[in-house]
């Protein structure tokens, strides 16, 4: 079984690329369930949908039409990654209610990264309803029904790297364009939050 896009590179390769050990590679729940049905053992650092860290990096890969949310307060960061086909009312309200029952939501801030703008907007509304301000956001409107030929050279999958110990969140967007018969790497790096 070929791994999902968000798992196309192993945890070990991610750690080699960033030069340190990570806390978790966060993947959409469906991807994690597919991995569980496969025969290969799952790296214990691959976590479904949401994970929290205070020290080691949290990573998610392959955000296209999906949406990712970073919630943080102080040195505690949570990373959530889910497909746009999954209504955020089904998982985000539940996660925030659970968090609200354990801790006060006061002081929690968010960063939003997405593709599908309808889901992106719904997530923003949910965060607003809970009084969680969105400090930084990025949406390239990569919808799941987008015409692939129009997508090439304009958008690309996005990766999120969170470094809690540095209080830094970085987005990497990978995309290529055919220029005079050659594929040119036009990937970019954007700091979404830094203290």
| Confidence (pLDDT) at 148 | 56
Structure tokens, 41 = 């053992």
pLDDT at 8 over 80: no
Evaluate if residue 174 carries a pLDDT over 80: no
Encoded tokens for 44? 């214990």
> Could you report the per-residue pLDDT of 99-158, keeping only the tens digit for each?
888 888 999 999 999 888 899 999 999 999 999 999 999 988 777 666 655 555 556 788
In the chain the domains, ranked by start, together with CATH numbers, are 5-194 (3.30.1330.200)
- What distances in angstroms separate CA 100 from CA 103, 105, 106, 108, one per listed residue? 5, 6, 9, 11
pLDDT, residue 150, reads: 59
Task: Supply the pLDDT for residue 152.
Answer: 55
- Strands (DSSP E) contained in the chain are 24-27, 46-48, 50-53, 58-63, 67-73, 76-82, 109-114, 134-139, 158-163, 168-173, 176-179, 182-185, 188-194
Per-residue model confidence (pLDDT) at position 103: 82
Q: What is the pTM of this model?
A: 0.86
């Amino acid at each position: 079984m070929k791994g999902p896009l968000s798992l196309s590179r192993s945890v070990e390769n991610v750690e080699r690329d960033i030069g340190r050990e990570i806390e978790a590679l966060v993947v959409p729940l469906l991807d994690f369930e597919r991995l569980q049905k496969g025969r290969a053992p799952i790296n214990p650092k691959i976590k479904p949908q949401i994970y929290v860290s205070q020290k080691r990096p949290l990573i998610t890969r392959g955000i296209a039409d999906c949406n990712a949310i970073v919630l943080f307060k102080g040195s505690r960061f949570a990373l959530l990654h889910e497909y746009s086909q999954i209504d955020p009312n089904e998982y985000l309200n539940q996660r925030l209610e659970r968090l609200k029952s354990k801790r006060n939501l006061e002081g929690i801030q968010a960063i939003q990264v997405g593709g599908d703008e309808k889901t992106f907007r719904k997530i923003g509304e949910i965060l607003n309803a809970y009084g969680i301000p969105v400090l930084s956001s990025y949406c390239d409107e990569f919808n799941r029904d987008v015409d692939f030929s129009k997508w090439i050279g304009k958008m690309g999958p996005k990766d999120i790297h969170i470094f809690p110990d540095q209080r830094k969140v970085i987005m990497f967007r990978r995309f290529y364009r055919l220029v005079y018969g050659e594929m040119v790497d036009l990937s970019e790096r954007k700091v979404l939050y830094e203290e």
